[in-house]
Structures are given as structure tokens and as C-alpha cells.
């Protein structure tokens, strides 16, 4: 699956949305702060918004090409759309909502049978209910099921979890992962929550002020933000893929490449063996010379690779077997006489290692 | 009540109902287009539709008389289709339809504007064409406003006087409606007849409004 978005230019109130990107992920997060143009982009792909300049192609099907006057109406696009307000039809029952778009399409995804979709999203008991009687999480799942049952070639999800409280979000995320894995419908997932992006997405497109600031595999983006705008939006400097080795006394041991990290158990179920360990640069302390005994759980010997200015601070890139970024004051750097090639020890408290459960991803 | 009065009541209720049914599709189409689209001549279109509401009914009647008279469209219809409009029951129907049309459009338009456009858009992404979206999403969700619009239109048609008397005259047994009959009775000092018909008007209006409220209530639950 490839979604090609080229030469897109849509004037919005305070900026112009400009997008030129090719998306190949099974689940791609469109990430950006509120008002970055994310919903506009989805509307454009779905054909709900005209554009002066746009080229939208899914696989070999051109949906919009303003230069040749091609504009496929939304109903012919085969795109399932779950908008932020869900747009369930209030005058219809859950069943009528679900069946609204169902049709056997040519070459349609045969795994998208009514019973199966309803089962995977655990909504069989809701089918006879009225939409207005559902809870937030139930509405969410019904809206997703309705979009899936139209046998879409691409599923657009606009901040599907934004309206839910945190515990409910954690319960919905596995459903999204199941859809991704079981039905094989590629998804574009708009979010401004980096944990959602890390938990679900393979690829990510970062939108800042209507422009694609960076696009690529999720962990690459978090580790190597292309510029300070992306780093600022993502707000995490180090994201490491790791495996949970053990959970003991509230302390989680995670193996990241050659390094073992200790983290405080943040209540994720132990079956999520694959995790992302996130460390913010301001939480990394650098010691030069002999290590002194202290309370930090993680001591990582490494080499300084690079020093760079970051506003009033210095950004120090380390190689501790895994890449690690630290943010120090200029004064500290001068006092320690830090220079590339120096051997140092990085320290991180266990509670500053934030773990994000990576949902099983057997296909990729 | 005399047979003649029964005929008047029956004729009025029936022709007002028919007029409401005839304007319904056009009224809904106009209301939807006004609620959902913008185009350069929109204001002009709106104004023309609203005119019968603000113009003196007699003036509207005169306009219709001119248009549908024998020198206008009416003459052509007579030549090619073989029937007359002016001073027949068809003229009553025409007058009622024109006079009640703006009320239906205004009410239905407000109702359509109250339907979240996102619902219509998402229905399109689910594969529905414009017609299906209109009948399965827009109309059901605007139903209460549409029903009250129909009710207003029907009530307006029941009481129409000025335009009717201009295009249809007051021909006993042919074009006399309740309003015309009340006026005529009062003119001829037949107060008893006038008050009987007044009572009938009250009952008809009451039943129409009550039935409408009942339907709307049922829709809500």
C-alpha cells in the first residue's frame, strides 16, 4: 500500500497547508500540535474538501489530480473515515449504522465480514441498541466498525482517542492494534499524542504549521528529529526499542541492545514484552571521571559524540552502546571541559525512564 | 350544517392538503439547496421565494392572475392541455401553493441547517450518493422542522384569502373556500353561517396543530 500526497496546497486561516509525502506504513501516524492542519489533510484525502492544488493517489488509483481536473467523489474513493466527533447517525440503531456503508465491493477485503468485525471490536451486545445510549468508548468502536464494514482501501482515523479519558484510551488501543493486524486495512492515524503514535504506528508524518517537518519510521523520528521544530513537537529526545526482561518489586528491567535499563513499573501489563524506553534529555546527568556512588539506578558508560547549542543549553549526544541525548547548561559543559571523544558516564533515574508498551506486531 | 357548507369545508381541507403535498418536494429541494450551498444569485433566489410572504396577498393574486390568465401561461395551457386555470379549483390550488411555499421553505431550511454536515459527509465516504444521503440522513434528522413547516404551510393554505379571491374568484360550489365563505356570509348579514364556519376553522386548525405536535413527539421518543 502506498498513499501518495503530492503538491498539496490549501490556504487556511493562519498558514497554507503544504504536503508532499509518500506514505507506506500499515499504520501511519499524522502527528502534530493542534491546528497544524491534520484534519484538513484527512478531509482532502477523503474528498470532503476541495483543493486548488492537490494530487492524491492510493496504490495505482488517482483520487485527486487538480492539474488534470480529476476529482473522485467521496463515495467512490473507498476510504473509511472516523472523524473526531465520530459522526454516528443518531436516528439509526447501532446495527443500521454499521450496515450503512456495507457492500460487497469488487476485490473487497473478504475478512471484513460483519460478524467478524463486530466480534473483534467486541460490540455484538450493542448491535440492537440506539446510538444515543452508548458510552464514549462504545461509540468509538461502533464508528470504527462502521468505517471498516464499508470495505475501505484505507482507513482514516482523526484523533480517535482524544475524547476519551486515559484509562479508556488504554483499553481502545488494543482494538486498533487488532484491526491493524487482523484486517490488514492500512490506516492514517491523526494524533497529537506521542504515546499513541509510539504504541501503534510504524511510520510517522510530523506536521508543523501545515508543513511536513519530517516523515519516516517512528523510532527514527523520535531519535533523530530533523530540526528543533520536530524535536519540540515530539518532546522526547531518546526513544529506544527494548525488551522487558523482568518485572520485580515495581522495577522493570529492560534490555536495549547491549545495555540494560531499569525503569519504574508504570502499570503496563507484563505480556507487553516489547517496549519503547523514552528518556528526556534534561533527565540525563553526565559524570566525567571516577563514578561516585549515588541513587540513580542507571549508569551507562559512554563516549561523547557531539556537542551542539540548544538555546541557552548544550545538547550532548552520547554513544553508550545505544544513542543517548543529554541537555546540560553551558556552564556545566565548560567546567567539565566536555569534548567529543571524552569518556563519561550517563546517569538516569529509574523513574525517568518512561516505558511505552509496544503492541505485538507480528507482520512487520 | 347545510350540504353547501359541508362541500366548502371538504373542498378547503382537501385543496389545502393537496397544495401542501405538491409544494413538499420543491420546498425541500429549495430548503436544502439554500441550507447547504452558496452561489452568486442566492440572495435573489431567497428574495423571490420569500416575496409571497411579505407582499400583500391581493398583489400576489393579481400577479398570478396576470401570469396564468388567458394571455399568459394559462392561455398556452388551455390551448395545449385543454384545461383552464383561472376561476377554477386549480386556481385555488395555485394560490394556496404559492402563498404557503415560503413558510415550508423557511422552516425546512432552518431544520436542514441544524443537521451536522459532518454526518452527510461521512455518509458519502460510506458510499452513499447525494440522493441516498438526502433521504436517509438529511430528511430524517430534519424531520421535526419539516413537519412543522408542512403544518405552517397547511394552516396558511386553510386561511388564504387575498390571492385566492383574485385568481379563483368566489364561485359557489367551485372555488369557495372557508375564508371566502365567512367573508361572504358577513357581507350578506348571515352571521349564524359565518360563526359556524368560524367554529369549523378553529377545529381544523386545532386538529392540524395537534396532529403535528403528536407526530413530532413520537419522532422524539
d(CA A277, CA A237): 11
**Residue A19 grid cell:** 504536503
ipTM for the complex shown = 0.84
Distance of residue B118 Cα from the nearest chain A Cα, in angstroms: 6
B136 touches A: beta carbon within 8 Å: yes
Nearest to A100 among B126, B129, B140 (CB): B126
d(CA B190, CA B64): 31
Backbone angles phi, psi at A274, to 5 degrees: -90, 130
Helix (H, G, I), strand (E, B) or coil at B94: helix
Distance of residue A254 Cα from the nearest chain B Cα, in angstroms: 44
Q: Which of B118, B125, B216 is the best substitution to test chain A (most A C-beta atoms within 10 A)? A: B125
Residues 6+ apart with CB under 8 A from A236: A194, A222, A278, A279, A280
Backbone angles phi, psi at A299, to 5 degrees: -120, 115
d(CA A268, CA A239): 17
B125 touches A: beta carbon within 8 Å: yes
Q: In the prediction, which pLDDT does A188 show?
A: 93
Q: Do B118 and A87 touch (CB under 8 A)?
A: yes
Residues 6+ apart with CB under 8 A from A255: A242, A243, A245, A261
Calculate the CA A115 to chain-centre distance: 29
Q: Do A74 and B119 touch (CB under 8 A)?
A: no
| Least reliable range by pLDDT among A64-73, A152-161, A176-185, A234-243 | A234-243
Q: Do B125 and A90 touch (CB under 8 A)?
A: no
Position A302 pLDDT exceeds 50: yes
Q: How many CB atoms lie within 10 A of CB B26?
A: 14
Q: In the prediction, which pLDDT does A108 show?
A: 52
Q: In the prediction, which pLDDT does A104 show?
A: 57
d(CA A255, CA B49): 74
| Least reliable range by pLDDT among A16-20, A285-289, B55-59 | A285-289
Contact A307, A338 (CB under 8 A): yes
d(CA A212, CA A108): 32
Q: In the prediction, which pLDDT does A245 show?
A: 85
Strand A313-319 and strand A298-310: pairing?
A: antiparallel
| CA distances to A36, A171, A301, B140 from A180, in Å | 25, 15, 39, 34
Chain B environment of A90 (Cβ under 8 Å): 141
Tens-level pLDDT at each residue, chain B (221 residues)? 788 899 999 999 999 999 999 999 999 999 999 999 999 999 999 999 999 999 999 999 999 999 998 888 888 888 888 888 889 999 999 999 999 999 999 999 999 999 999 999 999 999 999 999 999 999 999 999 999 899 999 999 999 999 999 999 888 889 999 999 999 999 999 999 999 999 999 998 888 888 888 877 876 65
| Least reliable range by pLDDT among A246-255, A338-347, B38-47, B190-199 | A246-255
Contact A213, A230 (CB under 8 A): yes
The 10s digit of each residue's pLDDT in A60-93 is 999 999 999 999 999 999 999 999 999 999 999 9
Identify the band that residue A363 occupies on the pLDDT scale cut at 50, 70 and 90.
very low
Nearest to B121 among A48, A80, A91 (CB): A48
d(CA B45, CA B59): 19
A81 touches B: beta carbon within 8 Å: yes
Chain B environment of A101 (Cβ under 8 Å): 125-128
Identify the band that residue A362 occupies on the pLDDT scale cut at 50, 70 and 90.
very low
Contact A135, B158 (CB under 8 A): no
The 10s digit of each residue's pLDDT in A98-109 is 999 886 554 555
B84 secondary structure, DSSP code:
-
Question: For the residues of B121-171, what is the DSSP string, one character each?
Answer: HHHHHTT--HHHHIIIIIHHHHHHHHHHHHHHHHHHHHH--HHHHHHH---
B39 secondary structure, DSSP code:
-
Closest CA to A194 of A252, A226, A234, A166: A234
| Least reliable range by pLDDT among A200-214, A310-324, B18-32 | A310-324
A46 touches B: beta carbon within 8 Å: yes
Q: In the prediction, which pLDDT does A270 show?
A: 59
Amino acid at each position: 500500500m502506498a498513499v501518495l500526497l503530492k503538491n498539496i496546497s490549501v490556504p487556511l486561516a493562519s498558514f497554507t497547508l503544504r504536503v508532499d509525502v509518500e506514505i507506506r506504513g500499515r499504520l501511519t501516524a499524522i502527528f502534530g500540535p493542534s491546528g497544524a492542519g491534520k484534519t484538513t489533510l484527512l478531509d482532502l484525502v477523503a474528498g470532503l474538501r476541495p483543493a486548488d492544488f492537490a494530487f492524491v493517489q492510493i496504490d495505482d488509483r488517482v483520487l485527486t489530480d487538480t492539474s488534470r481536473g480529476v476529482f473522485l467523489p467521496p463515495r467512490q474513493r473507498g476510504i473509511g473515515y472516523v472523524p473526531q466527533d465520530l459522526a454516528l447517525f443518531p436516528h439509526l440503531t447501532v446495527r443500521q449504522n454499521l450496515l450503512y456503508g456495507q457492500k460487497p465491493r469488487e476485490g473487497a477485503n473478504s475478512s471484513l465480514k460483519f460478524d467478524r468485525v463486530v466480534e473483534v471490536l467486541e460490540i455484538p451486545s450493542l448491535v440492537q441498541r440506539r446510538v444515543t445510549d452508548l458510552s464514549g468508548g462504545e461509540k468509538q468502536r461502533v464508528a470504527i466498525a462502521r468505517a471498516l464494514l464499508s470495505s475501505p482501501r484505507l482507513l482514516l482515523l482523526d484523533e480517535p482517542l482524544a475524547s476519551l479519558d486515559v484509562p479508556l484510551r488504554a483499553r481502545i488501543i488494543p482494538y486498533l492494534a487488532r484491526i491493524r493486524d487482523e484486517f490488514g486495512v492500512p490506516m492514517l492515524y491523526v494524533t497529537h499524542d506521542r504515546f499513541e503514535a509510539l504504541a501503534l504506528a510504524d511510520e510517522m508524518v510530523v506536521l508543523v504549521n501545515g508543513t511536513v517537518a519530517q516523515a519516516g519510521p517512528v523510532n527514527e523520528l523520535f531519535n533523530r528529529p530533523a530540526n528543533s521544530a520536530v524535536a519540540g513537537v515530539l518532546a522526547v529526545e531518546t526513544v529506544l526499542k527494548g525488551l522487558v526482561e523482568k518485572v520485580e518489586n515495581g522495577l522493570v528491567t529492560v534490555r536495549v541492545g547491549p545495555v540494560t535499563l531499569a525503569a519504574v513499573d508504570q502499570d503496563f501489563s507484563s505480556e507487553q514484552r516489547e517496549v519503547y524506553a523514552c528518556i528526556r534529555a534534561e533527565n540525563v546527568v553526565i559524570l566525567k571521571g571516577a563514578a561516585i556512588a549515588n541513587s540513580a539506578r542507571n549508569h551507562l558508560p559512554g563516549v561523547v559524540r557531539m556537542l551542539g547549542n540548544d538555546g541557552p543549553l548544550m545538547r550532548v549526544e552520547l554513544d553508550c552502546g545505544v544513542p543517548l541525548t543529554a541537555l546540560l547548561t553551558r556552564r556545566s559543559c565548560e567546567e567539565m571541559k566536555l569534548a567529543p571523544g571524552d569518556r563519561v558516564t550517563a546517569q538516569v533515574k529509574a523513574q525517568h525512564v518512561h516505558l511505552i508498551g509496544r503492541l505485538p506486531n507480528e507482520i512487520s | 350544517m347545510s350540504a353547501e357548507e359541508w362541500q366548502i369545508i371538504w373542498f378547503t381541507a382537501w385543496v389545502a392538503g393537496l397544495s401542501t403535498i405538491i409544494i413538499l418536494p420543491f420546498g425541500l429541494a429549495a430548503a436544502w439547496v439554500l441550507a447547504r450551498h452558496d452561489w452568486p444569485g442566492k440572495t435573489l433566489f431567497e428574495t423571490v421565494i420569500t416575496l409571497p410572504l411579505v407582499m400583500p396577498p391581493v398583489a400576489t393574486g393579481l400577479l398570478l392572475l396576470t401570469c396564468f390568465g388567458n394571455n399568459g401561461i394559462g392561455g398556452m395551457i388551455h390551448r395545449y392541455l385543454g384545461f383552464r386555470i383561472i376561476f377554477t379549483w386549480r386556481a385555488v390550488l395555485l394560490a394556496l401553493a404559492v402563498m404557503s411555499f415560503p413558510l415550508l421553505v423557511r422552516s425546512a431550511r432552518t431544520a436542514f441547517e441544524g443537521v451536522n454536515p459532518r454526518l452527510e459527509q461521512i455518509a458519502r465516504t460510506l458510499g452513499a450518493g447525494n440522493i441516498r444521503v438526502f433521504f436517509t440522513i438529511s430528511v430524517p434528522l430534519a424531520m421535526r422542522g419539516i413537519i412543522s413547516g408542512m403544518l405552517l404551510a397547511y394552516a396558511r393554505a386553510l386561511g388564504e384569502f387575498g390571492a385566492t379571491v383574485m385568481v379563483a374568484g368566489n364561485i359557489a360550489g367551485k372555488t369557495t373556500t372557508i375564508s371566502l365563505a365567512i367573508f361572504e356570509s358577513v357581507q350578506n348579514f348571515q352571521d349564524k353561517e359565518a360563526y359556524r364556519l368560524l367554529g369549523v376553522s378553529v377545529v381544523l386548525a386545532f386538529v392540524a396543530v395537534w396532529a403535528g405536535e403528536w407526530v413530532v413527539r413520537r419522532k422524539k421518543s
